[in-house]
Amino acid sequence: MKTTSHLKHILGAALLAVPLALIAADQPNPAKDKAPHGGRLMGGTAVRAEFLVKADQTVEVYLYDQQLKPVAPADQTVTLILQGKDGAKTKVEFNKGAGAFVSKSPVTIPEGAKAILAVKAGGKPENFRFDLIMSPCKGCKKPEYACDCEGC
Cβ burial 16-43 (10 Å sphere, 16+ → b, else e): eeeeeeebeeeeeeeeebebebebbbbe
Distance CA 129, CA 108 (A): 18
For Zn ion, the closer of residues 72 and 152 by Cβ is 152
Min. distance of Cβ 84 from Zn ion in angstroms? 24
Minimal distance, residue 43 CB to Zn ion, in Å: 19
Q: Which of 7, 28, 2, 32 is nearest to 18 (CA)?
A: 7
Choose between 24 and 149: whose C-beta lies nearer to Zn ion. 149
CB of 149 to Zn ion, least distance (A): 3
Using alpha carbons, select from 51, 73, 68 the residue that is nearest to residue 60: 51
Which residue in 46, 116, 118, 137 binds Zn ion (CB under 5 A)? 137
Q: Does 134 bind Zn ion (CB under 5 A)?
A: no
Residues lying near Zn ion in the complex (CB under 5 A) are found at: 137, 139-140, 147, 149, 152
